[in-house]
Structure 1
């Protein structure tokens, strides 16, 4: 059984997806979170499974019906046991599975780094450049959706801030989202990214420190992020005071 804190975090993730969506459709075991304005963004057009009542064998057909107007399929399952039950039918249906660690900040809260809240206009150019590096073969409309979808994230939590660290010339070199729910005491740090030309210069440290300090100052004692279980950043986060307390799963096709 997941710990009470992990259950609270999973509920936060589910609620964020629901609130961020332009519209939702109730499904057996969860819901579809949809936004036609960002049709190329899988995270904005996905199925979220947040109940154990889901029937794993019928899930592929349910998702096909909910996302049938799109060329892709994405399913987020926050509970590890539910994801394990759903994995075999989804893999048979052609999905791939990625595991993400839920990492809780258990170290001391650092002093704020040399980062600040920035607006989307300041992020647009470095973010587009970074996405172009990640996805060199997609067209400009896909990149635009991946950049502009950040504005929709403002709906996802009571307080949403974009934290950025700037170069001496004023360009945002590293950035992350910070989602705060002071009423429940939960904060999430999401999508910490650094411009390729600015790697290794301490900008990500500054963004992370500032986000953690802002979360603590907002009375959010539960501070977490998610990290790919198979990628190197998880170890970087461990060195900065984060501990894995559970895992969630993403199934993807198309």
Structure 2
């Protein structure tokens, strides 16, 4: 068959292949959903995460299969690949990051490190609620409303707020000129103040004792963006009170920094 004849049949081929792939994707998604709905060993968050992941995976795989089929229809790929090992190696090198993202995404999913709807802190900076779990990346809705997307290979640290409780983590980045001993005294007083004023937000165990009170974790990071050191304060609170508790702790830290003339990292030329 000539190239012109293949070109004339292209719309029919595209339509048939596309419909077939859509049907297969739909059946896979439906089967997975029915299967998971009858798996009582999984909680609702786990089921929702697996269903969401399956939808993303089938979408990508369906698209990849469609592209390969159409290319192969005009230019047989077996001849191309078998005749050029160098090209295959180059393609593998080019797509190594994508492959790594896929493998790490599968690992995160099946190791149950993240669920859809979890509150996470990524690389100690971006924090928010997981809105989408793809096979290559995560999308989280930050507290400021922005949607943050990060590929799995770029995640070096992931903190996950456990369902039913959340760990408030707030910090001050202070200048190198700041005396650590003075900063320690101030932030330890802030932790004590938070326990006294906002103890109602803390998560209690069955004996009515806080699982983890507000506490000062001292210096948790050096050379933050080459500007200063990070001094952190944490505490485990009830999930429903997480946002409000974070606001209160940030206020106390800001007020303490102001009243005690702590040198913030931005004020490189200021002195105590």
Q: For this structure pair, what is the TM-score category when the shorter chain's length is used for normalisation?
A: under 0.3
- TM-score, normalised to structure 2, is 0.24
Asked which structure has the greater RCO (Cα within 8 Å, sep 6+), the reply is 1
More strand by share: 1
Structure with the higher helix share, 1 or 2 = 2
TM-score (norm 1): 0.25
| Larger gyration radius, structure 1 or structure 2 | 2
